[in-house]
Chains A and B, each alone.
Chain A
Amino acid sequence: MSEETDIIDQVVSQEYKYGFTTDIEMETAPKGLNEDIVRFISSRKNEPEWMLEYRLKAYRHWLTLSEPEWQNFSYPKINYQDIIYYAAPKEKKKLNSLDEVDPELLKTFEKLGISLAEQKRLSGVAVDAVFDSVSIATTFKEQLKEKGVIFCAISEALQEHPELVKQYMGSVVPYTDNYFAALNAAVFSDGSFVYIPKGVRCPMELSTYFRINAENTGQFERTLIIADDNSYVSYLEGCTAPMRDENQLHAAVVELIAMEGAEIKYSTVQNWYPGDKDGKGGIYNFVTKRGSCEGKNAKISWTQVETGSAITWKYPSCILKGEGSVGEFFSVAVTNNAQVADTGTKMIHIGKNTRSRIVSKGISAGKSHNTYRGLVKVAKKADGVRNYTQCDSMLIGSHCGAHTFPYIEIANQSAVVEHEASTSKIGEDQIFYCNQRGIGTEEAISLIVNGFCREVLNQLPMEFAVEAQKLLAVSLEGSVG
């Protein structure tokens, strides 16, 4: 037992290793939020008039909203006037190759294990790196262009493909959706844009790396992915931030649109700074992610490994409109120290014969709380719907909590919906079994946790699976290998 306590202590005392800051010259907007700031961001980005109009509409709508209060945690009120809404590395001129990128920046990404140059040569993953609010570099652009794939920063897409952006932005997550989506629509600074043309299978994994660097800034990026008929894309997203004493807000919006027969696979490995062990500092990760299966037999699959952030609050969802479309959600959420995760998904079945699968694994340690909140809704006319939900929680230590709030709303008799959940701790008998076979307690816990998450980790593309496992190790070091 004492050995176990030691390990738990180690788990609790693990520190964040991406907490460095990069000393780089930044151009920032003044603190605070008002219409001028919105105009400032828009003009900095040289945006078309309609975009500015959209932002202003969103901002005015945001003013009428109040912050939600239904969540299963509390946080100190955010002072929205104390945030810098725009921060960009200075000297931004058009970059043609990585050689022109500020070497300081490249170093930062190297430290994070995201060496842009390296990636370019070796791994065959196209990366779009977003540093604070601005997309720094997108690799492999030329190669993708040959296939007709558009992968660029959303600010660039606004210049080069405004018609696509105009048509789809806000179609899945309108600015009226919620408080943070409205804020994002008003002040989003950059993000990634992906368009896969009809019948194209994107030849490589697309990836975005988000980094918050500057102090007092919020990061509001916006991702828009459109997969046209019968196309396929796999998209990865990773994030880190420096260690700071104050909380920083990250309120992103991600919209996915899958047309007939298209498939989008969206994977996230989230490792924002979680705050220190007393819960001081850390990122508030309040993100709206939603995908819409517009056409027949479309498929959207969310995979997330959430280990960072002081508070993670998001529900990547699928609207299954097209007949026979499929939604999937695989999640591992690890919370430690004073972290909070309130996450889950919504599967809205509108089309006939739509299917969805939810696998959620929550691991809480320290004094943290992990909540699964999910909705499975079957509309009246959606015949033949099938859903399977599994959510398992694991508790490490006796001061943490695990909570499950599944909402199931069924208005069609032909639906078959199942929900299963369990909560357990690592059993003494399980550890004893391993010990008996010569496996040390630490290794045994690692084995058990890995086995617990395997179903989800298997969903990640190779490159990310490795990183995710490493992250689990960081979050639960001493118990996970």
Chain B
Amino acid sequence: MSGTLTAKTPGAEFLESLKSDFANYLAQAGDTNFVNQRKQAFDLFLNQGLPTPAHEEWKYTNLRKAYEANLATTCLQEEGIADLLASSVLNGLDAYKLVFVNGCFQPQLSALPQAGDLVLLPLSEARKQNAATFDAHFGKYIPLEGYSLNALNTALMSDGAFVQIKKNKKADKPVILFQISDSSLVNAFSQPRNLVIVEEGADLHLIESFLSNGNGTSFTNAVTEVMVDKNAHLEHYKLQRQSDTTYLNHFTQIHQEADTSINHVTLTLSGNMVRNNLHFYMNGRNCNSLLYGLYITDGNEFVDNHTRVDHAMPDCFSDEKYKGILKDQSTAVFNGKIMVHLDAQKTNAYQRNQNILLSKDAVVNTKPQLEIFADDVKCTHGATIGQLDEEPLFYLRSRGIPENEARKLLLNAFADDIAEKIRIPELVQVLEDEIARKIS
């Protein structure tokens, strides 16, 4: 195997281009703490290398084709982004918006609030204007060790959103972060980075939308870092709808202090290859975390959801449910880990992954994990993989509903179970329609 036949390791050229990108960056950068932080991150990245299936966490997911797609980092964009946004299901929603194309901020397409309790800025601006807050939180919550793409993002991130809601305030409208990868001119590589701070007692509704434009290949390596302070509440939704030439890796870290509650929903409706990492860390008592996910895949799509819930303190509750509907030759991976730390007594944690396979060639790999180091806990996890249940199908057909209709009804019910966890009523209907369209 070694040597002659495979002369280079996967992504060797990509790695070289990243090295020269970083060297260019260093040449212009000064010697600040921030630059040092990025330098350390880049070293960590180089030590670990690009993830390959040899890594247990990437056992089923191979980004090699993304690495070898001759990617360029660019802000260039074709027109048509405005049209793309107009056709988005989120278009009708009254909300504040921040739009990024290939990780670059688009002020003319964004809608920002008046200065006040809610601060919405591109991250690059926030680093200058809100330096103290930025320094206090940036990079403090995500793991870099074992997650080389996080390290890469930290070292070479494009721009991203800075969202801050002040103490005891409630945002009057939801916030939408649009991340659009535009590969109409070149094969685009972008590394959006978002930092969200929900201060004590505050309340925020946040939607992250991933879209794509153009027919070239794009690879997005996004990181979202969320800090939720005591007694605050966050509604967090992820909506992923990209084309079949995209690769998306999105790492989300949600750090919770005591008495916080979070409702998270990830909807993956399309995209060539999607890898989500969703990590919750409960750093105080009495946290409440709900994680829900739905993926509907067809064609050659590949969706991988890795979640990890760290119960680091006692008396916390988490409920996780991920559902999938798979058609054609699509593949889904689920890896859920619940980590109950020593002394995190009275933990209640639930985890389920349910999959319906609609075709002979669809593949599901699931691994619901529990790691428990405390004894007074209640933890359950479950996974099911199967076809549509015959009994309800028969019931419906016996009442004169044609088989096709009956199937659709049942699949809709299966999927709506997740869609209805979204607590923005205007959005639920639109999404349910969207799901129905994808299923039929």
Q: Chain A interface (Cβ within 8 Å of chain B)?
A: 70, 380, 393, 395-425
Contacts and interface: CB of A to CB of B under 8 A. Distances in A.
Interface residues of B, number: 36
A420 B379 CA distance: 11
B383 A413 contact: no
A405 B369 contact: yes
A393 B375 CA distance: 10
Interface in B356-410: 357-387
A460 to B, nearest CB: 27
Nearest to B376: A425
Interface string B228-263: 000000000000000000000000000000000000
A53 B64 CA distance: 42
Contacts of B368: 404, 406, 419, 421
Contacts of A406: 367-369, 383
Given A403-B369, A403-B370, A425-B375, A410 B382 contact: no
Interface of B: 56, 342-343, 345, 355, 357-387
Given A396-B375, A397-B375, A418-B382, A404 B387 contact: no
A62 B82 CA distance: 63
B386 A416 contact: yes
Nearest to A371: B371
A87 to B, nearest CB: 38
A407 B370 CA distance: 12
A270 to B, nearest CB: 24
A380 B362 CA distance: 9
Contacts of B378: 422-424
B371 to A, nearest CB: 5
B380 A420 contact: yes
A407 B385 contact: no
Given A398-B374, A408-B365, A419 B360 contact: no
Contacts of A401: 371-373
Main secondary structure of the interface of B (DSSP, over half): strand
A422 B348 CA distance: 11
Contacts of A409: 363-365
11 contacts: A398-B345, A398-B375, A401-B371, A408-B365, A408-B385, A409-B363, A410-B385, A413-B359, A422-B378, A422-B379, A423-B378
A264 to B, nearest CB: 28
Nearest to B383: A419
A360 to B, nearest CB: 13
B386 A417 contact: yes
A66 to B, nearest CB: 15
B322 to A, nearest CB: 13
B365 A407 contact: yes
B364 A410 contact: yes
A418 B384 CA distance: 4
A412 B362 CA distance: 7
Contacts of B369: 403-406
Given A401-B373, A403-B369, A406-B368, A421 B363 contact: no
Contact of A421 (B360, B364, B382, B386): B382
Given A406-B369, A418-B384, A421-B370, A413 B357 contact: yes
A380 B359 CA distance: 11
A91 to B, nearest CB: 51
A393 B381 CA distance: 12
Nearest to A403: B371
Query: Quick one: which of A396, A400, A401, A408 has the most chain B CB within 10 A?
Result: A408
A393 B372 contact: yes
A410 B386 CA distance: 9
Given A400-B375, A424-B378, A419 B384 contact: yes
Contacts of B343: 398
Nearest to B60: A409
A264 B178 CA distance: 59
Contacts of A404: 368-371, 381
A403 B372 contact: yes
A416 B376 CA distance: 33
A423 B311 CA distance: 15
B363 A410 contact: yes
Given A408-B367, A409-B365, A421-B370, A414 B376 contact: no
A70 B364 CA distance: 23
A119 B345 CA distance: 49
Enumerate the 9 nearest inter-chain pairs by beta-carbon distance, A residue then B residue, closest first: A413-B357, A395-B375, A416-B386, A404-B370, A419-B383, A423-B379, A422-B380, A417-B385, A425-B375
Contacts of B372: 393, 395, 401-403, 423
A408 B377 CA distance: 25
Contacts of B364: 408-410
B382 A415 contact: no
B367 A405 contact: yes
Contacts of B387: 413-414, 416
A417 B384 contact: yes
A32 to B, nearest CB: 31
Given A393-B372, A395-B372, A411 B383 contact: no
Contacts of B361: 380, 411
Nearest to B378: A424
A396 to B, nearest CB: 7
A380 B376 CA distance: 41
Nearest to A404: B370
A423 B377 contact: yes
Contacts of B359: 413
B244 to A, nearest CB: 21
B347 to A, nearest CB: 10
Given A397-B375, A420-B382, A423-B372, 18 more contacts: A398-B345, A398-B374, A402-B372, A403-B369, A405-B367, A406-B369, A406-B383, A407-B365, A408-B366, A410-B365, A410-B366, A410-B385, A412-B357, A419-B366, A419-B383, A421-B370, A421-B380, A425-B376
Nearest to B354: A418
Contact of A398 (B371, B376, B379, B386): B376
A414 B357 CA distance: 8
Nearest to A389: B383
Contacts of A419: 366, 368, 381-384
Quick one: which of B345, B355, B359, B376 has the most chain A CB within 10 A? B376
Contacts of B360: 380, 412-413
Nearest to A8: B375
Nearest to A426: B375
A405 B370 CA distance: 7
A425 B346 CA distance: 11
A401 B373 CA distance: 4
A407 to B, nearest CB: 5
Nearest to A401: B373
A13 to B, nearest CB: 18
A278 B363 CA distance: 46
Which of B56, B345, B359, B378 has the most CB atoms of chain A within a 10 A radius of its CB? B378
B370 A415 contact: no
A112 B379 CA distance: 39
A411 B373 contact: no
Contacts of B374: 395, 398
A199 B368 CA distance: 42
A408 B371 contact: no
A18 to B, nearest CB: 29
Contacts of A422: 378-380
| B342, B362, B375, B376 pick with most chain A CB within 10 angstroms | B375
A404 B381 CA distance: 9
B383 A408 contact: yes
Contacts of A403: 369-372
A398 B345 CA distance: 9
A413 B370 CA distance: 26
A70 to B, nearest CB: 7
Nearest to A386: B386
Contacts of B370: 393, 402-404, 421, 423
